């Protein structure tokens, strides 16, 4: 039987483990009366220690980034390029502003509504393979920031899939050149090997 992930799943201290463990889980949204869902196939981890990209984010978006100084398990969603909403989950606790970005999902429930939201005719990689497009497809907007990802609007389910470490591809995260080579090179982007729904490799 599918089981909803509890707050304790997101309140663990190891954000890298959380990012890996979310692979194969199912993300659900219930927005505007419509249920949609997708199997998580790609994530990125951000850690407040040893990760200059997150340090810069906390500095540049000081007011907004207070959304990371919360107990693990709350949504943190912000917009880039004035159009793409990025769905992150605050992890650990209020004193440790770590986060996991959901980068791609394989659509499973409510595909017709996802297509309508994305303006597409048929399912294809472009539907949910990327953090901005998956948010659009699932109806995720910055207005949902602060909501629990264990609630009735946003939640994750464990459907019993076991992902072996050998089936996880770890590589550098996307678009972090501004943070310097050390942060940009951290292998904290995790993908399910062989999935056609992961975002393009960069």
Structural domains in the chain, CATH included, are 3-192 (3.10.300.10)
Among 30-39, 79-88, 123-132, 186-195, which is the least confidently predicted range?
A: 79-88
Contact 156, 28 (CB under 8 A): yes
Residue 65's pLDDT is 67
pLDDT surpasses 70 at 178 = yes
Residue 110's pLDDT is 97
Residue 50's pLDDT is 76
Q: Is 83 exposed, middle or buried (0-12, 13-18, 19+ CB in 10 A)?
A: exposed
Model pLDDT for residues 152-165, shown as the tens digit of each residue = 999 999 999 999 99
- Phi and psi at 141, nearest 5°, equal -130, 165
Residue 164's pLDDT is 97
Quote the tokens at residue 96: 């440790």
Model pLDDT for residues 21-79, shown as the tens digit of each residue = 999 999 999 999 999 999 999 999 999 887 768 777 776 666 666 778 899 999 999 98
């Amino acid at each position: 039987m599918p089981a909803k992930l509890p707050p304790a799943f997101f309140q663990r201290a190891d954000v890298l483990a959380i990012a890996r463990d979310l692979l194969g889980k199912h993300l659900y949204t219930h927005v505007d009366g419509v249920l949609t869902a997708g199997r998580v196939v790609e994530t990125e981890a951000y850690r407040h220690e040893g990760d200059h990209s997150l340090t810069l984010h906390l500095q540049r978006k000081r007011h907004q980034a207070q959304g990371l100084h919360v107990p693990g398990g709350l949504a943190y969603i912000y917009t880039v390029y004035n159009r793409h909403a990025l769905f992150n989950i605050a992890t650990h606790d209020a004193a440790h502003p770590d986060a996991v970005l959901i980068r791609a999902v394989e659509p499973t429930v409510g595909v017709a509504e996802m297509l309508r939201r994305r303006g597409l005719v048929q399912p294809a990689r472009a539907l949910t393979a990327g953090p901005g497009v998956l948010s659009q497809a699932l109806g995720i907007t910055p207005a949902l920031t602060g909501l629990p990802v264990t609630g009735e609007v946003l939640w994750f389910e464990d459907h019993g899939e076991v992902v072996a470490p050998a089936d996880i591809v770890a590589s550098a995260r996307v678009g972090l050149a501004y943070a310097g080579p050390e942060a940009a090179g951290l292998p904290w982007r995790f993908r399910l090997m062989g999935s056609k729904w992961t975002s393009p490799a960069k």
